[in-house]
Amino acid sequence: MSHFLVRGGRRLDGQLTVQGAKNSVLPILAATLLARGQVVLLGCPRLRDVDASIRILHHLGCDARWEGDALTVDTTALDRCGISDQLMREMRSSAIFLGAILARCGQADLSYPGGCELGPRPIDLHLSGLRQLGAEIREEGGFLHCRAPALVGRELVLRMPSVGATENLMLAACGCVGTTVITNAAREPEVVDLQNFLNACGARVSGAGSSCVSVQGGQALHGCTYRVMPDRIAAATYLCAAASAGGDISLLGAEERHLTTVTAALRQAGCAITADGGGLRAVCRGPLRAIEPVQTAPYPGFPTDAQAVLMAALLRSRGATVFEENIFENRYRHVGELTRMGAKIRVSGRVAVVTGVERLHGAPVRCTDLRGGAALCVAALAAEGETRVSQICHIDRGYEDLVRDLRALGADADRVEETDNS
């Protein structure tokens, strides 16, 4: 398997354009099933999860092909309403296809999805909402057999503001008769991006970004050309990389309004972060300070996906910072790998206390999940010597080319492609 080699001790200096958002493009790819005609997605990131979504589209009989950084999708020839177990297991977000297939075909057959092992992420909210819209869903041996000859809009109240459930129900609601209102909806920017894409295709969706989303079903959707929003978690990763190594970087396309809790934390730690119409600039000089407790929460709270990279940035800070993880119970799997580099972190349940150390050292470490893997690279930038990061397949799920981007910012890093000589 391939690995990264990161040699620390070099300050970052440079600029890059932030990739399109992973957590936005995946539901948009599912949404293309609702549009009759050609969809062109501009700025679509080339990720393992995007590749997995393309394989699902091909499996369903659709056409999807790359033209530069644009992905062209045509779902006109869809001829199947089921997804194989192997394809579903490739990523957690594969569940998002359920609502779209059900709305398009009136039936769907698929298994439970896979993805990073971050603890229980049940799709019961998805299934409950779909059942309320009129779907008959039978769960058998890890498979879901869904039938919905006619979906009917109604008010849905989510028990918690789940991003995946909100998006899945938005897609299903496009195929409903009448209006669907989703209350206690997730407010993440990616939900807004999905709404904007659907409306560009002719849908009538409103309210995304608030806790109440309304979908007037029954619209005939058509193709369109659409640019995917910039990835706020990738931007947070590079801001934290600059905080870890020190330096002066510019992130073109990054939007601070999507990152206010992250930029506030980094400013408190001692970084100077400024925004203009073109993106964000981070200037980080001198030792960082410990900050007030970081508590992850649904948007607009601190994003769970940025917790690990911020933790990595603060490993050499002065003082101690408390992290409280309130979204996923296994979000601290990267801690053991960070301690191999000399980090001082104490974990108790959902709480982790990071006490800054004077120096970190390079070590062989392995990725445990997508964001934890990125955190190892952020920490390696501040470590003395060389760090070997293995199992980078996790990182490839969400970052188009992490080493390329770090090198663009002045980091000393390489990707080593290993060959199988067996």
Neighbours of 422 (CB within 10 A): 3
Q: What is the mean pLDDT of the chain?
A: 94
Any long-range contacts for 150-154 (C-beta under 8 Å, 24+ apart)? 150/106, 150/177, 151/102, 151/103, 151/175, 151/176, 151/177, 151/217, 152/176, 152/177, 152/178, 153/177, 153/178, 153/179, 153/180, 153/181, 153/215, 153/216, 153/217, 154/178, 154/180, 154/181
Only one residue has tokens 């299903």, namely 172
**Sheet with 344-348: strands ordered across:** 294-295, 320-324, 351-355, 344-348
Lowest-pLDDT range, 117-126, 266-275, 413-422? 117-126
Tell me, what's the pLDDT at 111? 85
Neighbours of 188 (CB within 10 A): 23
116 a catalytic residue? yes
Q: Is the pLDDT of residue 119 over 60?
A: no
For residue 209, name the pLDDT band (cuts at 50, 70, 90).
very high
Lowest-pLDDT range, 92-96, 155-159, 242-246, 317-321? 92-96
Q: Is the pLDDT of residue 120 over 60?
A: no
Tell me, what's the pLDDT at 14? 96
Kindly report, residue by residue over 276-323, the tens digit of the pLDDT: 879 999 999 989 999 999 999 999 999 999 999 999 999 999 999 999
Tell me, what's the pLDDT at 246? 98
List the structure tokens of 46: 């080339």
Neighbours of 61 (CB within 10 A): 13
Asked if the peptide bond before residue 364 counts as cis, ω within 30 degrees of 0, the response is: no
Only one residue has tokens 């990763």, namely 237
CA 50 distance to own-chain centroid: 11
Please check whether residue 288 is in contact with residue 265, taking contact to mean a CB–CB distance below 8 angstroms. no
Tell me, what's the pLDDT at 422? 45
For residue 116, name the pLDDT band (cuts at 50, 70, 90).
very low
- Please work out, in degrees rounded to the nearest 5, the angle formed at the alpha carbon of residue 368 by the alpha carbons of 142 and 236: 110
Tell me, what's the pLDDT at 58? 97
What DSSP string runs through 349-397?
TTEEEEE--S-EE--EEE-SSHHHHHHHHHHHTTEESEEEEE-THHHHT
Tell me, what's the pLDDT at 113? 75
Please check whether residue 201 is in contact with residue 216, taking contact to mean a CB–CB distance below 8 angstroms. no
Percentages helix, strand, coil for the chain (3-state, rounded to 5) are: 35, 30, 35
Strand partners, 93: none
Exposed / middle / buried, residue 406 (Cβ in 10 Å: 0-12, 13-18, 19+):
buried
Q: How far apart are CA 135 and CA 222, in angstroms?
A: 25
Lowest-pLDDT range, 273-282, 295-304, 336-345, 413-422? 413-422
Tell me, what's the pLDDT at 114? 55
**Sheet with 279-284: strands ordered across:** 12-17, 247-252, 279-284, 272-276
Exposed / middle / buried, residue 31 (Cβ in 10 Å: 0-12, 13-18, 19+):
buried
Kindly report, residue by residue over 363-379, the tens digit of the pLDDT: 999 999 999 999 999 99
Number of helices (H) and strands (E) in the chain: give both, helices first.
Answer: 14, 25
Q: How far apart are CA 234 and CA 293, in angstroms?
A: 22
Q: How far apart are CA 249 and CA 239, in angstroms?
A: 8
Tell me, what's the pLDDT at 115? 44
Neighbours of 18 (CB within 10 A): 26
Lowest-pLDDT range, 50-59, 106-115, 178-187, 405-414? 106-115
Tell me, what's the pLDDT at 91? 80
Lowest-pLDDT range, 11-25, 36-50, 118-132, 311-325? 118-132
Kindly report, residue by residue over 174-199, the tens digit of the pLDDT: 999 999 999 999 999 999 999 999 99
Kindly report, residue by residue over 74-100, the tens digit of the pLDDT: 999 999 999 998 999 888 788 999 999
CB-based burial, 43-59: b 16+ in 10 Å, e otherwise: bbbebbbbebbbbbbee
Per annotation, catalytic residue among 44, 81, 105, 116: 116
Tell me, what's the pLDDT at 117? 43
Average pLDDT over residues 264-284: 96
Percent of the chain with pLDDT over 90: 89
